Amino acid sequence: MSPVHGSSASENPGADTALIRMQEISKHYEMGSQIVRALDGINVEIGLGDWVSFIGSSGSGKSTFLNILGCLDRPSGGEYFLNGVYVEELGPNQLAEIRNREIGFIFQSFNLLPRATALGNVMQPLVYRRISYRQRREMAMEALRRVRLDDRMDHLPNQLSGGQRQRVAIARALVTEPSILLADEPTGNLDSRTSAEIMQLFDQLHREGQTLILVTHEEDVAGLGDRVIELLDGKIIRDRRAGEPLH
């Protein structure tokens, strides 16, 4: 098993503490009489400004890991610190607040609110921060500008192409200025040209200092980051720098 891979100061000067630190994280489900170990002793550290890809086939524990990382779920065992906060002691409402403050989700199926316009979707997370309508609107417009979608603000999701929808989702994730962008197969529903555009956008965000975590099963998507962590059967089997040969 791979040891903890610390954030390297050479890549990100100024990032001296880890943004994410997981120790011996495990998640067990009971399926009838059987206990399924979806995660089994995960140790990982991710620093500020890193771009880390988690890769694994289906059933490798990827989704479970993503849920725990994104504070949607709590592990059965182990310790998880996110930006210095010990996540496991938090209740559902506090987890909701952490998700709102620290994490920007980007999903494979975009998960936009169907009845809200692009602008409305981007404004939505700010509603939970008690920000006034006018300010929300301004912040959302700025975020849409960052993903170069300011000309489609008043469109409903079903009036947008897949790539545009994903960019709305990215704007929604960015608008709260989260410490982590957490993307789950962000290009899974997109054609290769649009995928390339989205990955280019990620690259740009990374260069602007945004911490990125990608969960994917596509090697070429994973390879664009700094670091690739391979999962299999709930364990980390390899933690390597991107571009290193597989074997």
Partner 1 sequence: MFYVILESTRSALISIFAHGLRSFLTTLGIVIGVASVIAVVSLTQGMSAFIGESFSSLGSNSLTIQSYTPIAEQMRGVRARLTPEDLELIERRGEGIASITPILYANRTSQVRYAAQTTFSQIMGTTYAYRDVSQSYVELGRFIAESDNLTRRRVTVIGEKVREDLGLPENPVNEYVELGGEWFKVIGLLETKGDIMGFSQDDIVLVPYSTMQSLQGNQARTDIQIQLSLSEEAEVENVTRQLSAMLRNAHDLGPDEDDDFVINTAEQLMATFDTIINMVTLVIGGIVSISLLVGGIGIMNIMLVSVTERTREIGICKAIGAKRHHILAQFLIEAMLLSLLGGLIGLALGFGLGTAISSSIESFPPASIPMWAIALALGFSGFVGVLFGILPAAKAANLDPIDALRYE
Residues contributing to the site for partner 1 (CB under 8 A)? 67, 70, 72-73, 92-93, 96-97, 99-101, 105, 107, 111-116, 124-125, 127-130, 172, 176
Task: Reduce the DSSP state of residue 27 to 3 states and report it.
Answer: strand
Q: How far is the CB of 95 from partner 1 (least distance, A)?
A: 9
Question: Is the Cβ–Cβ distance between 176 and 169 less than 8 Å?
Answer: no
| 128, 101 Cβ separation under 8 angstroms | no
The residue (of 75 and 125) whose beta carbon lies closer to partner 1 is: 125
Strands 51-55 and 211-216: parallel
- Give the shortest CB-112-to-partner 1 separation in angstroms: 8
Q: Which is nearer to partner 1, 78 or 178 (CB)?
A: 178
Tokens of 140: 């959302």
Range list of β-strands (E), the chain: 18-31, 34-47, 51-55, 77-82, 85-86, 103-106, 180-184, 211-216, 227-232, 235-241
User: Measured from the CB atom, is 73 or 150 closer to partner 1?
Assistant: 73
How many residues does this entry show for the chain? 247
CB of 6 to partner 1, least distance (A): 29
User: Considering beta carbons, is residue 57 or 109 the nearer one to partner 1?
Assistant: 109
DSSP tag of 18: E
At closest approach, how far in Å is the CB of 128 from partner 1?
4
- What the block records as the tokens of 193 is 């040209």
Minimum distance of partner 1 from residue 79's CB (angstroms) = 21
Q: How far is the CB of 90 from partner 1 (least distance, A)?
A: 12
Q: Which is nearer to partner 1, 105 or 226 (CB)?
A: 105
Radius of gyration (C-alpha) of the chain in whole angstroms: 18
Nearer to partner 1, 5 or 62 (CB): 62
Within 10 A of 147 (CB to CB), how many other CB atoms are there? 23
Q: Bridge-partner residues for 27, per DSSP?
A: 39
CB of 186 to partner 1, least distance (A): 15
CB atoms within 10 A of CB 152: 18
Six token digits for residue 177: 């200025």
Residue 58 vs 93, nearer CB to partner 1:
93
